[in-house]
């Protein structure tokens, strides 16, 4: 497979939003908001443009990964800047061929080169533990309310960076999406039917689960 990965350019924006919509549509909720998220993220102050990549197969954009700045803060005013990816998308017809893994590996390497100490995400452990992510609880990193969500996952880039303290994780407010704006933005894309899939129920369960 002749896959290449390069930075996203302005010419790719529409294609990336379309592929994101294809990848997420009806998967976690009826419809999806990730194509709108991608659109707003690029203009947000937390966006990390140097970690915005597309995967290309035979001149076609088949995948994308985007990161924003996040942070963890310990009781006594210690703060570490971290990087958070999401969305990550691969066109459905090209999934399960290693493209998502290639995007994670490539961006992780660049994040390390740029000096990020860790990547922290919210997602399915099934997708990310195989890439070295562990539960945030293993590093004493809770969410902003002091709880340990099932899907809060951490990949240390500097070993031992979180040792000896209890941390709280803060993600970018770009993820607080205005649902009305999503509906308006979605009108700019071709019609797709919103419908129920059992993966939505799986997501509802996983997103309400916390580690004791």
Using CB under 6 A, list all residues that contact ligand COA. Answer: 23-24, 27, 87-90, 95-101, 123-124, 127, 130
Look up residue 117 and give its two tokens: 């100490």
- Given the complex with ligand COA, which of 73 and 203 has the nearer CB atom? 203
Query: Shortest approach of ligand COA to residue 101 CB, angstroms?
Result: 3
Look up residue 135 and give its two tokens: 């539960």
Instruction: Name which of 43, 48, 45, 51 is nearest 7 in CA terms.
Output: 51
User: In whole angstroms, what is the distance from residue 58 CA to residue 15 CA?
Assistant: 15
Query: Shortest approach of ligand COA to residue 44 CB, angstroms?
Result: 19
The CB-nearest residue to ligand COA is 100
User: In whole angstroms, what is the distance from residue 46 CA to residue 97 CA?
Assistant: 31
- Given the complex with ligand COA, which of 23 and 80 has the nearer CB atom? 23
Query: Shortest approach of ligand COA to residue 153 CB, angstroms?
Result: 10
Look up residue 51 and give its two tokens: 């970690």
- Given the complex with ligand COA, which of 79 and 194 has the nearer CB atom? 194
Look up residue 12 and give its two tokens: 């790719």
- Given the complex with ligand COA, which of 30 and 158 has the nearer CB atom? 30
- Given the complex with ligand COA, which of 96 and 193 has the nearer CB atom? 96
- Given the complex with ligand COA, which of 38 and 141 has the nearer CB atom? 38
Query: Shortest approach of ligand COA to residue 57 CB, angstroms?
Result: 11
Q: Are 41 and 62 in contact (CB under 8 A)?
A: no
State the DSSP code for 133.
-
Q: Are 2 and 57 in contact (CB under 8 A)?
A: yes
Query: Shortest approach of ligand COA to residue 49 CB, angstroms?
Result: 20
User: In whole angstroms, what is the distance from residue 161 CA to residue 74 CA?
Assistant: 12
Query: Shortest approach of ligand COA to residue 212 CB, angstroms?
Result: 23
C-alpha separations of 5 from 24, 58, 61, 65, 128 in Å: 21, 12, 9, 10, 19
């Amino acid at each position: 497979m002749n896959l290449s990965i390069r930075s996203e350019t302005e010419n790719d924006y529409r294609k990336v939003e379309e592929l994101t919509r294809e990848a997420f549509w009806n998967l976690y909720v009826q419809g999806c908001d990730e194509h709108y998220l991608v659109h707003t993220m690029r203009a947000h102050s937390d966006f990390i443009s140097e970690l915005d990549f597309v995967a290309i197969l035979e001149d076609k954009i088949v995948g994308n990964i985007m990161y924003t700045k996040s942070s963890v803060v310990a009781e006594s005013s210690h703060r570490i800047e971290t990087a958070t990816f999401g969305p990550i998308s691969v066109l459905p017809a090209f999934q399960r061929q290693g493209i998502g893994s290639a995007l994670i590996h490539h961006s992780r390497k660049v994040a390390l080169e740029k000096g990020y100490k860790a990547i922290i995400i919210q997602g399915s452990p099934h997708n990310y533990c195989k890439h070295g992510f562990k539960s945030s609880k293993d590093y004493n990193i809770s969410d902003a309310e002091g709880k340990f969500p099932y899907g809060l996952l951490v990949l240390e880039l500097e070993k031992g960076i979180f040792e000896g303290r209890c941390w709280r994780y803060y993600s970018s407010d770009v993820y607080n999406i205005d649902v009305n704006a999503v509906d308006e933005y979605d009108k700019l894309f071709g019609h797709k039917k919103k419908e129920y899939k059992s993966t939505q129920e799986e997501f509802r369960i996983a997103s309400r689960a916390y580690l004791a």
